Amino acid sequence: MSVEVKDGKKEDNILVATLSMIKQAVDLAGLSLEVYEHLRTPMRFVEVAVPVEMEDGSTRVFTGYRCQHNNVFGPYKGGLRYHPDVTTDSIKALSMWMTLKCSLVGVPFGGGKGAIVCDSQNMTHKERERMTRGYVRALGSILGPETDIPAPDVFTDSQVMAWIADEYSSIMREPSFGVVTGKPLAVGGCVGRNEATGRGCYFVAKEAAQAFKIPFEKARIAIQGFGNVGSNAALLFAEKGCPVIAVSDISGGVYNKEGLDILKLIDHVERTGYVKGFPGAGAISNEELLAVECDILIPAALENQITGKNANDVRAKIVVEAANGPTTPEADQILKENDILVVPDILANSGGVTVSYFEWVQNNYGFRWDLATVNRRLEEKMVEAFNMVYSFYCEKCIGSDMRTGAYMYSIQRLAEAMHYRGWLRNGTHRQ
């Protein structure tokens, strides 16, 4: 079992779980073991020291990582995370999911991920800027619009991306904004990128409800995590009339069985920083949120939230994984036994990388699409990806789950590209 002990607490190791899922998918699809060999190890993993002058005049040295997992389809692509609990294993797993995600949704990128181990929420704006610029100076030689393209992730945003674009352009001595996506519009960002992961998740949830014959406009929604992804998804569900009955963040959760007023909740979070204390709603804990009776549960916070311990409490009909890795393998098994459909992260949250791809294309060609074009193309991609994976799962994965189907589908595409690039000695499939 993929469990490790950290600070005296048992934690699921997402790298061990991911490797086991990849191996299982390679075996079930009858793919060559060489495919697994290529996918099990990142092509490059770099650790750097990032010295930062703090506001009190002291210097702190932060640890930064960049993992470049696989580039068979194109430049490495993946978010940059600022979080105190980041581990090398989690960054490797996150980069693997990016490879699988890009393959699944059909964008010409490989998988990457980066992080700085820090408590950025307790740092000042200037300290965050100096840290970000230091990270780019330490890693600049392996980043680039045709090499490796970071994007926002947990506790990084469009401002952080703008600092990366600026520092990288200084190093290159020319404007080179295509090195990152998720930038502000003023420096080559794409309309709709900020909302894209939440919007993509919304499109996928709508398709899943249809497949499960749940009347979408009445579907009761519960969302764990109310940051970029969770709040944007909540807004879209609410606009469509779906009652969003429970929402949580790191401070705890709020519940109203008639549906929360999401615009007012966003305003409350902007003023107070957290969802807690929102008027007209009852207080619930994060554990209680996962157990709320609803149609669609959307984990949109962090990894390892639905586990062997609480999966039996989940009372949703569908779980749409907006976050990366929120469900452990033990929980997957329990949810499957309880007939709960899990739309896996590599499909459900691929709206972000899809619009990142749109941004990169626009930067490369120096033109701009309008919001209606971006949203229409995103919807087309997400609906197509959901239906391809769902029918593949229904046809080929009897007795298994949709995650396995998504992994098999994605890895088959990777294997085909590896084959044509000459990375496999004996063909894509096992002899």
Q: Are 348 and 322 in contact (CB under 8 A)?
A: yes
Which of 129, 116, 196, 137 is CA-nearest to residue 161? 129
Question: Residue 261 burial by CB count (10 A; 0-12/13-18/19+): exposed, middle or buried?
Answer: middle
We find the least distance from the C-beta atom of residue 231 to ligand NAD, in angstroms, to be 8
Binders in 315-354 for ligand NAD, by CB under 6 A: 322-324, 349, 352
Q: Are 234 and 269 in contact (CB under 8 A)?
A: no
Give CA 363 to chain center in angstroms. Answer: 22
Q: Which of 197, 328, 354, 375 binds ligand NAD (CB under 6 A)?
A: 197
- Find the distance separating the first CA and the last CA of the chain, reported in whole Å: 30
- Active-site option among 113, 317, 336, 381: 113
Given the rule CB under 6 A, which of 4-12, 102-110, 242-250, 382-390 is the region that contacts ligand NAD?
242-250
Q: Which of 78, 150, 152, 178 binds ligand NAD (CB under 6 A)?
A: 152
Of 10 and 421, the one with the shorter C-beta distance to ligand NAD is 10
Q: Is 147 in the site for ligand NAD (CB under 6 A)?
A: no
Given the rule CB under 6 A, which of 24-32, 209-217, 233-241, 298-306 is the region that contacts ligand NAD?
298-306
Of 171 and 250, the one with the shorter C-beta distance to ligand NAD is 250
244 forms bridges with which residues in the sheet? 221
Q: Is 184 in the site for ligand NAD (CB under 6 A)?
A: no
CA dist., res. 17 & res. 165, Å (int): 34
- Rounding to the nearest 10 degrees, give the CA dihedral for residues 137, 143, 145, 149: -110
Of 65 and 415, the one with the shorter C-beta distance to ligand NAD is 65
CA dist., res. 164 & res. 133, Å (int): 6
Q: Is 255 in the site for ligand NAD (CB under 6 A)?
A: no
Given the rule CB under 6 A, which of 103-111, 228-236, 365-373, 422-430 is the region that contacts ligand NAD?
228-236
We find the least distance from the C-beta atom of residue 386 to ligand NAD, in angstroms, to be 16
Name the residue type at position 244.
Answer: V
Binders in 54-83 for ligand NAD, by CB under 6 A: none
Q: Is 206 a catalytic residue?
A: no
Contacts 24+ apart (CB under 8 A), 403-406: 403/21, 403/332, 403/342, 403/344, 404/21, 404/24, 404/25, 404/28, 406/100, 406/104, 406/344, 406/346, 406/347
Of 131 and 397, the one with the shorter C-beta distance to ligand NAD is 131
Determine the size of the site formed for ligand NAD (CB under 6 A).
Answer: 24
Q: Which pair of tokens denotes residue 220?
A: 């009761």
Which residues are identified as catalytic? Answer: 113
Binding residues for ligand NAD, rule: CB under 6 A, are: 152-155, 197, 224-230, 248-250, 286, 300-302, 322-324, 349, 352
